[in-house]
Structures are given as structure tokens and as C-alpha cells.
Structure 1
């Protein structure tokens, strides 16, 4: 199957369907020599790996670099993921405090752009993902658009992506400010919806429709896929790996609910992947790749869906 999928990637590269996986620093043990086979397996199903995350401080300097993989680990990730684009991610929940001050100030933006250009060259990175959670004013959004646009001028060959929450408001802002002119992909965080089931197929379809109806270019959008579960009453979360590890042998493989937790099973991940394809999206995005089972069941589900589509044509 891996060979089939790689052939599909090569033949379909012109179509630009990306499979993007976030990979946070608490998964960096997979970058050790004893675990690198797991990262290699994961990257064999990804077009982009987003290393999550560093921050920007209020002066425009890159911070939280203690989270970044050290030299040996970074060398290893480049080696085992040699066919996957590597991006540094800025921000995330509780990690976005410096953005507002920086994006509103042209001098600070320039400082960040210069540091980031050097950082990407030093670590041989293919680009950057902006994961600001969340801009809270028009000035924030205008400043973010300016930062990304200026980064595009400074480093035109580098990939730039951003994440957003699909609440209709953010789609409208992204469209009105023409973010699609300066970013390569916009990742919709289509999970954690209110209610007992946090990431249904219907919610995914609604998120896709919202983006397209707002005027965003479908080819620039990726559909977010959760590799984690949430308890239907408490909202507590577990990785898909942990849910499957404790699943009884008689558990229904087609169910999205087990022991009080709701998640996306193999079939739902396949359906969402094909939804993204059928609607002309630029790909799918995974939060987060380290949450999959040892045999990377959900990564394989994405690949299988794409290979099955290819063989049916």
C-alpha cells in the first residue's frame, strides 16, 4: 500500500492535494534513534510535517526555542522525512501572546521576518505555519495579513500556511482581506464543535461549505481531521491510540463512539478525506500525527481513501 500511495502522490502532485500533519514537541521522542521508524512511517503518508511550536515575543524575536528539536534530532527528522516538506509552526493555544504587538508594528514585523528567514535556512525548512489563536480585532487581522505578505516578498520560495477556526466570522475576514493571495494553505480546525460529538461528518461538511461560501479558494483550504477523542459528557480528551489500546476485542470497528468517547474511526476519516477531494479542497490537515495507533491506522485510512479513488477512475 505504501508503494501505491507514493505512486499516487507522484502522479497527482500537480493537483496539489496535501496531507498535512502537526507534530508537537512532546512527540519528539519519536525523533530518537529507537523510535525513528515510527516517524518514518508517519511521514510516508504526509506531504507536510508541521513542527509545533515556537513563539514570537512582543519584540518580534523568536522565542520558546527550548521546544525546538536539537541538532541530532533535527538531522534525523530531515533524513527520515526526506520526501516530506518541513515547516516551523508559530503559536497555538496559550502560545500566541506576542503576535498582536508584533503584527501591528512594521519594525517588529521586519525583525521577525529577518530572524525567521535565517532560522529556516539554518534548519533547512520548507516554510512556516502561522497558528495564532486567535486574532481579536481588525487591527490584528490586518497586521497578520501584512506579516504574511511581507514574508512572501522576503522569502517567495517558502511555503506559508495558517490555521483558523471555522466559525463563519473568521472565514469572512480571511476572504475580505484576501489572505488567499499570500498563503499556500488555510487549515480549518474543524473539530471541538460544541455538543456531545466534537467532530462529526456533518460538521466537516458545514465547515467546508462555510469556507467556499465566504469566497475562499477551495484549493487553498484543508479540512482538519482529529486524531483524538472527547468524552461525550465531560469533554475530556484521549488520543485515538489510547482509545484503541483499551478497546474490547468485540468493539465495532465502524463505531465512532467507545466507552463514552467520541472520535473519528477509519471509515469517518476516509469519508472526510473524500469530502475534501470531492469539494476541490487543497488537502486535509491532522491534529496531531503522534496521536495515531502504533500501526498508524488513521494515516493509512487517508492514503487508502485516495488510492481507492484513484483505482476507481
Structure 2
């Protein structure tokens, strides 16, 4: 992979493309509070989520979604280049993807319905967050081996439908097609990213949730590098290298940043919880809460893992370990994106840092 990254410098004197900053905004929470959204610091807002019902993209909360589309689109008065994109699926609404795109007729039906929402509300594209093709996500999700090929064919049909709308509506700007993908090796093995990427503008790597409440070991959930010498340890760097090896151009890869933490109740104080066996997962909190509450609480001690380029907190009294992204780790991630000429960064989810600490850091760092 050193050769692969080394080849990224062969651009001569061509001016590098601006890095994108993609923020997921959760409409599933209800009405969006536009007052906390700094549109001037964003390239794309991915509206989460649109559901799938009877093989079609479907607004489960249409009244709320309609208001939110207007609210978000109004932010273009602040930033005329801002794009508003619908994100379909997510953890809770991926159960029907496999059935919807199983056949050619099904893929056309699904693509037509998704693009119809884009057209009706004058939006700027589609993001697919299928968790996960060919793999179990949430309990009860349908998945099958054919998902691997159908994942690619779905994007082909979506790209065709979006291009047709652009032509029909005489739009000057290309309509966007992106996807959020799992950062594990198994997610790559169950997709054809070398083929799928040709239809995509960006591939948003969910380089977080490496550790979740069900993990057998408490560790970093959104680390840039590995904490140990284990080459198989999950990290953003490892995930990015795997996706490049799978055929995704670096300029299309968007690194994920977590605006939230994950917590673990530990059995004892060994290593302040890092890489130890927990009793259970606990709430980690959003970054604004972590910064303003936990970091100002003497019960918590902040630590920095130099190897992983990642922070963590430990509360010795409660035996609670919290893993998260902070300003320092975000700077490291943004510098990585710049160094390796990646497409940019994305984050989940806006309301977890309403004070904008991490977005401000992204804005001043990402070049």
C-alpha cells in the first residue's frame, strides 16, 4: 500500500480539488433546529433517513421531512454551494434493501422512487446507507449473497435516474450519488467497490463504531491508527487502505468523524479501561457534553493514545471508560486527508455537537 499512497503525488501542478465536508443531520429526531447548523462550514448535508417500503424509497414521517427539507434548503441563502442530499437506509431502515434491489425491475422501481423525492423537493442527490449488503446488520434484516452484485447494479440504476432528472430539469449542477459504507474488511468483501465506485461521487467510510456496546473489549471506537502492534486492529488508516486496495480512488474516499462518544463500564482499573474487558456498554454522550461536562468533572481523567492518535476518558470512581473524537484527533484526521489527497471528511451526527467545536476544527484545519 505504500506504493499506492506514493502514487497519489503524481498530479503535477494541477490545483487540488476542495475537500468536502459532509454532515449527517438526523431528521428521524423530529424537526431540525437550523439555528445550530453552520452552513458556511459544510459542503453537503445528508438528511437521515429515508425509509424503504414495498420496494420504494419512502418518507416515513412525511410531514416532518417536508418541513425539514424546506428548512435545510433555506440554508443555501447562507451558502449557495451547499448541497442537500437524502440518505436512504441507516441502521434501523436497511431491512428492505436486499429485496428492493433483487431484480432489474426492482432496481428501476427503487431508483425511480428515490429520484422522485429529489425532484419533488428540489434536492441535490441520493446517499445510500445500506447496513449491510450480504451481511447481517440490525436483527431481522434481509440479506443474501446476491447483494454483492445488486449493490453495484443499484448504483448504476440510480446514476441513470439522477442523470435523466438532471437532463429533464435542465439542471446546471450534477446530482450527487454517494454511499456510506462499513469500515470493516467483511464489508469490502461483500461488495464490488471497484465497480460500484464508477457510479459514485463519494464513498463515505464509517470509520467509527469500531467498538460498540456489545464489544468484548473496550477500546477506541474512532481511532486514526491502531493502538497496539496488531496489524489487524481496526483503525481509519487500515480501513482507508483496504478500500483503496479494493479499487476506490483516494479522491472519492471521505473519512468519518464521530461527533459522539461510546462508553463502557469496566470490571477494574487496569490500563484505565483501554483494551480491557468491560462489564457492559454505557452511554458515551455527544462531544459538546463530553467537552463541557465530562472534561470539567474532576472524576474524569483525560488521556491521549499517541499510537492511535485518539483520546479517551476514565472515571476511576465509576469505572467508566469513554472513547471519542476531540479537536486534537480531528486535526490528525484532517491532516491525514490532506496528506493522502482523500475526498474530505464526513461526520455523524450534527446534533451531537451543537456548539460546533469539532466542525470549527474541521473548518480551520482541512485544506
Please indicate the TM-score interval, normalised by the length of the shorter structure: 0.7 to 0.9
User: Which residue matches 2:327?
Assistant: 266
Query: Which is higher, the Rg of structure 1 or of structure 2?
Result: 2
Q: Tell me, yes or no, if the aligned pair for 1:226 and 1:286 is still in contact at 8 Å.
A: yes
Q: C-alpha displacement at 1:16, in angstroms?
A: 4.2
Q: C-alpha displacement at 1:163, in angstroms?
A: 1.2
Aligned partners of 1:232 and 1:173: how far apart in 2?
Answer: 30
Q: C-alpha displacement at 1:24, in angstroms?
A: 1.0
Q: Which moved more, 1:234-243 or 1:45-54?
A: 234-243
Q: C-alpha displacement at 1:105, in angstroms?
A: 1.6
The normalised TM-score by structure 2 is 0.72
Q: Which has the higher contact order (CA 8 A, sep 6+)?
A: 1
User: Which residue matches 1:95?
Assistant: 93
Matches within 5 A, 1:158-197: 158-175=175-192, 178-194=195-211, 195-197=218-220
Relative to 1, partners in 2 of residues 1:16 and 1:153: Cα closer, same or farther, differing over 3 Å?
farther
User: Which residue matches 1:141?
Assistant: 148
Mapped pair 1:45 → 2:55: no
User: Which residue matches 2:312?
Assistant: 257
User: Would you tell me which structure has more helix in proportion to its own residues?
Assistant: 1
Following superposition, which runs of at least 4 residues in structure 1 exceed 4 angstroms of deviation?
A: 172-177, 249-255
Q: Tell me, yes or no, if the aligned pair for 1:19 and 1:47 is still in contact at 8 Å.
A: yes
Aligned partners of 1:173 and 1:16: how far apart in 2?
Answer: 31
Instruction: Give the CA RMSD over aligned residues.
Output: 2.4
Q: C-alpha displacement at 1:26, in angstroms?
A: 4.3
Relative to 1, partners in 2 of residues 1:13 and 1:303: Cα closer, same or farther, differing over 3 Å?
farther
Q: C-alpha displacement at 1:215, in angstroms?
A: 2.7
User: Which residue matches 1:110?
Assistant: 108
Aligned residues: 288
Q: Tell me, yes or no, if the aligned pair for 1:24 and 1:51 is still in contact at 8 Å.
A: yes
Structure 2: runs of 5+ lacking an equivalent: 1-13, 135-143, 164-173, 212-217, 226-234, 266-279, 305-310, 316-320
Mapped pair 1:235 → 2:242: no
Aligned partners of 1:277 and 1:173: how far apart in 2?
Answer: 29
Q: Which moved more, 1:62-71 or 1:98-107?
A: 62-71
Matches within 5 A, 1:69-88: 69-81=64-76, 82-88=80-86
Aligned partners of 2:66 and 2:196: how far apart in 1?
Answer: 34
Q: Tell me, yes or no, if the aligned pair for 2:194 and 2:247 is still in contact at 8 Å.
A: no
Q: Which moved more, 1:88-97 or 1:205-214?
A: 205-214
- Secondary structure of 2:36's match? helix
Alignment partner of 1:244 out of 275, 286, 291: 291
